[in-house]
Amino acid sequence: MAFLTEPEPERGANLPVLPGISRIVANNPGPMTYLGTNTYLIETPDGVAVLDPGPEGHPEHIEAILRHTGGQIAYILVSHTHHDHVGAVPALQEATGAPTVGFRVSGIDTFVPDIKLDHDAAFAGMQALHTPGHASDHLCFALTAKNGDKVLFSADHVMSWSTSIVSPPGGDMRDYFASLNLLLAREDDVYLPGHGPALREPRDLVRAMLTHRVIREQAIARKLTGGAFDTYTIMDALYSQLNPRLRKAAERNVLAHLLKMEIEGKASREGELWRAA
């Protein structure tokens, strides 16, 4: 797959993306977050919406959001409740009093959105799309930018720099496949992901991600014809060249594939071991 890279962003800066849309990149780089979490500032008919305030423990990031919005925030949008996206929500809400917006069923007990959205809900000039797979409560937000581009804030469902981890129980591979197919049926011009740069002609990458997952599942199925194995052994055989820091995430992806295959009657388990059904 052809992934994108970008230079180290200026920390605390309000970086233009498209007319009416900018981003501030949190200083939380890592193997799962690339250069950091993208916090988007979106001009809506109701005022500025902040999408994904970022991780907890970065007061300088909250200060940057407040500085670039003047503290005048209409909504705090949450794409999903993983800590690198939702962690800073309490601090930002305390500073602004802005209501939070997210999927109607939160993925964690510590966050309940003030405004609960379902799939295909219209909100503040945007359309909410429930795209579970990476997370059970994952939302993408679609809008038409001021320059006419059809924009999808794809968060962690589709990123320009890497594939997404699908880690059960919050992650579900069957849902992930379905959500990718949902996006393929759309005609968005550009994706703005939760980490990394904007992605033009996004459906090419979505198709490649689906193909990659199908090939990975076929490889798991072939491995199971040789006997019963645990998830680590399967991961070790399939991801032998992977960065050691990502091997645990790869094992979670393997488990997600196996659970999908179990539901579809292609695999069965005995304790910690998996075999072909």
CATH of the domain at 48: 3.60.15.10
The residue range of the domain holding 53 is: 15-200
Do 224 and 192 share a structural domain? no
pLDDT tens-digit map of 126-137: 999 999 999 999
What pLDDT does 230 receive?
98
pLDDT at 114 over 90: yes
Residues 182, 187: Cα–Cα separation, whole Å: 11
Find the CATH number of the domain harbouring 270.
1.10.10.10
Count of the separate structural domains present in the chain: 2
Do 190 and 56 share a structural domain? yes
C-alpha separations of 270 from 172, 229, 233 in Å: 21, 10, 15
Lowest model confidence (mean pLDDT) among 52-56, 96-100, 239-243, 253-257 = 239-243
Residues of the chain above pLDDT 70, percent? 100
What pLDDT does 235 receive?
97
What pLDDT does 227 receive?
96
Residues 262, 257: Cα–Cα separation, whole Å: 9
Q: What is the mean pLDDT of the chain?
A: 97
**Which two structure tokens, joined as six digits, stand for 121?**
């809900």
Do 111 and 139 share a structural domain? yes
Pairing state between β 21-25 and 38-44? antiparallel
Do 149 and 246 share a structural domain? no
- Name residue, tokens 């006997």: 227
Of 155, 171, 200, at which residue does a domain stop?
200
